[in-house]
Amino acid sequence: MRRARIAHQGAVQWADVLEDEAALQLRSGDTIAARDAQWLPPAVPGASIFALGLNYADHRKELGFKTQDPPLIFLKGPGSLVGHLGETARPADANQMHPECELVAVIGKPARHVRAADALKYVGGYTIACDYAIREYLENYYRPNLAVKNRDATTPLGPWLTDASDIADPLQLKLCTMVNGQVVQEGSTADMILSVAELIVYLTETMTLMPGDMIMTGTPQGLHFCAPGDEVVCEIEGLGRLVNHLVAEAAP
């Protein structure tokens, strides 16, 4: 099952994505065209958002890094999220802003001290993120700062949440990013250094994960700098196509 979170008729609503992806069925039973929906991030803002850096072997090699232990994990605020078909502003002085397609695991039930064999049982669903990076603002690869990873609406998320039971193996999914129709990033979740299960084990050694918490699992190789006016599409096998539009940042 695929569930979308949308704004419709002045209220936030959940809707089931119908098979052809052209229509959404509201909880009331009414059906609306997908093109008429205002898409919201498909997990409730306010939950913890964990983001992985350098978690793909090919991306590490691309940037000249050796294996790192422990993993590079940082937090993102809910204000950094924007839904499918939303807009992301590129700062006027950011000529090196590039998209990063990521698989996102959304926790479905409280998890603490989880064993690897049981870890995927705590995933409620999966979605897609486009985690833009702004290289001009990057002070330290091992400690991404506020200006790089927490700017408003710089993390498109969606288009919907796919039940974990519908994804046979989260480590066998193809990823792709396109800018204006041109493929700029390709990879597979098989190249993750730490799997979804291993990340859940690692996090729950320290804290309790709660329903709605999100784990953004990193991105494969491929750097492409974007400009206002670009359409960016992040696609993951079995999860759909997340579309975002870059715009110029408005003057203060």
Smallest CA-to-CA distance from 200 within 97, 138, 122 is with 122
Q: What is the tens place of the pLDDT at every residue in 55-102?
A: 987 666 666 666 666 788 889 999 999 999 999 999 998 899 999 999
Model confidence band, residue 191 (pLDDT cutoffs 50, 70, 90): very high
Residue 101 CA to residue 220 CA, distance in Å, equals 8
The residue count for the chain? 252
Strand residue runs (E) in 56-154: 72-76, 81-82, 86-90, 97-98, 101-107, 123-130, 133-134
Asked whether the predicted pLDDT for residue 142 surpasses 60, the reply is: no
- Per domain, the residue ranges of the chain are 1-40, 43-248
Residue 11's CB is within 10 A of a number of other CB atoms, namely 7
pLDDT of residue 214: 97
Model confidence band, residue 47 (pLDDT cutoffs 50, 70, 90): confident
Record the tokens describing residue 212, joined without a space. Answer: 């709605």
Give mean pLDDT, residues 177-199: 96
pLDDT of residue 100: 95
Asked whether the predicted pLDDT for residue 46 surpasses 80, the reply is: no
Residue 40 CA to residue 6 CA, distance in Å, equals 5
Asked whether the predicted pLDDT for residue 170 surpasses 80, the reply is: yes
Instruction: Classify 43-248 by CATH class.
Output: alpha beta
Same fold, 1-40 and 43-248: no
Model confidence band, residue 2 (pLDDT cutoffs 50, 70, 90): very high
Asked whether the predicted pLDDT for residue 143 surpasses 60, the reply is: no
What architecture is domain 1-40? Roll (2.30)
Q: Report whether 144 contacts 218 (CB < 8 A).
A: no
pTM score, whole prediction: 0.94
H or E element in which residue 8 lies = strand 2-8
Give mean pLDDT, residues 122-148: 81
141-175 as b/e, with b when 16 or more CB fall inside 10 Å? eeebeeebbbbebbbbbbbbbbebeebeebeebeb
H or E element in which residue 146 lies = helix 146-149
Model confidence band, residue 150 (pLDDT cutoffs 50, 70, 90): confident
pLDDT of residue 15: 97
Give mean pLDDT, residues 212-232: 95
Residue 197 CA to residue 19 CA, distance in Å, equals 29
Record the tokens describing residue 159, joined without a space. Answer: 């288009």
Record the tokens describing residue 220, joined without a space. Answer: 């494969």
Give mean pLDDT, residues 236-252: 94
Of 44-53, 162-171, 242-251, the least confident: 44-53
The set of residues, in sequence order, having a beta carbon less than 8 Å from that of 108 and lying 6+ positions away, is 122, 123, 124, 125, 164, 211
